[in-house]
Homo-oligomer: A and B are copies of this chain.
């Protein structure tokens, strides 16, 4: 239990002073609860670009809150194919796939130098029994992950490639906005191949669509740099006018 990772840092957390607390913590915790909570979120851990926070098959022990940086999660099949199942940025919680079994079912890899808060799961469960708002919050976080996944199913199951990519860009845009970054201009941390894996298409298709969106003045792309020029245009792509 609670293995000591070589990359762990003893840095004491102070959730109350963390700029992300409104993203990953419940609102309206009293001071006492907050202090107890800071005892759970005891350590931080840096993960270098290309390194993994945990691998599929690793023994599950903790959830993690992303402090800064960017991660992808993916699962690998017997025959070597892998599927990107999500991208995670500051304030988001990862590792919940491991709760159901003994082990993690996906791998979490940093796409840039990142840092997470380590939250030993047994501590979370202990505290959840004592602090009702925390319990409620934790349940909501898990539920939202389920809802998010269902949204991805909708994407993969019933949208065409251009709709998926448009939805993906708008989703990223919204998430950057919530974190205080520009909603219209950002740098993609993932490759075309990773986007393609997430969206169920080939990297060439992603590239071609980027180029087409560029031609159509919807966005500007130069490599990893993206600027959204026509939000409404992108939205219109997702809900295509149909003979109704």
Which A residues fall within an 8 A CB radius of B?
A: 75, 77-85, 96-101, 105-106, 125, 128-130, 132, 135-136, 139-147, 149-154, 156-158, 197-200, 239-240, 242, 244
6 extra A-B contacts, CB within 8 A, seeds A83-B157, A96-B143? A75-B151, A83-B153, A96-B142, A99-B139, A145-B146, A157-B197
Complex Cα distance, B200 from A73, in Å, reads 22
Whether A105 and B140, one on each chain, are in contact in the complex, defined by CB atoms closer than 8 angstroms, is no
A154 contacts which of B77, B135, B146 (Cβ < 8 Å)?
A: B77
Complex Cα distance, B157 from A82, in Å, reads 10
Complex interface: chain B residues within 8 A of A84 (CB): 157
Complex Cα distance, B154 from A33, in Å, reads 40
Whether A144 and B75, one on each chain, are in contact in the complex, defined by CB atoms closer than 8 angstroms, is no
Q: Which secondary structure characterizes the binding site on chain A?
A: helix
Whether A125 and B154, one on each chain, are in contact in the complex, defined by CB atoms closer than 8 angstroms, is no
A97 contacts which of B78, B99, B132, B150 (Cβ < 8 Å)?
A: B150
A153 contacts which of B79, B85, B144 (Cβ < 8 Å)?
A: B85
A146 contacts which of B82, B96, B157, B198 (Cβ < 8 Å)?
A: B96
> Which residue, A81, A154, A244, has most C-beta atoms of chain B within 10 A?
A154
Whether A154 and B83, one on each chain, are in contact in the complex, defined by CB atoms closer than 8 angstroms, is yes
Complex interface: chain B residues within 8 A of A139 (CB): 99, 125, 142
Whether A135 and B125, one on each chain, are in contact in the complex, defined by CB atoms closer than 8 angstroms, is yes
| 13 pairs from A and B in contact (CB 8 Å cutoff) | A75-B150, A79-B242, A83-B153, A96-B143, A96-B146, A99-B142, A100-B143, A100-B147, A105-B150, A106-B150, A128-B129, A157-B198, A157-B200
Whether B99 and A143, one on each chain, are in contact in the complex, defined by CB atoms closer than 8 angstroms, is yes
Residue of B nearest to A242 (CB): B79
Give A45 Cβ to nearest chain B Cβ, in Å. 21
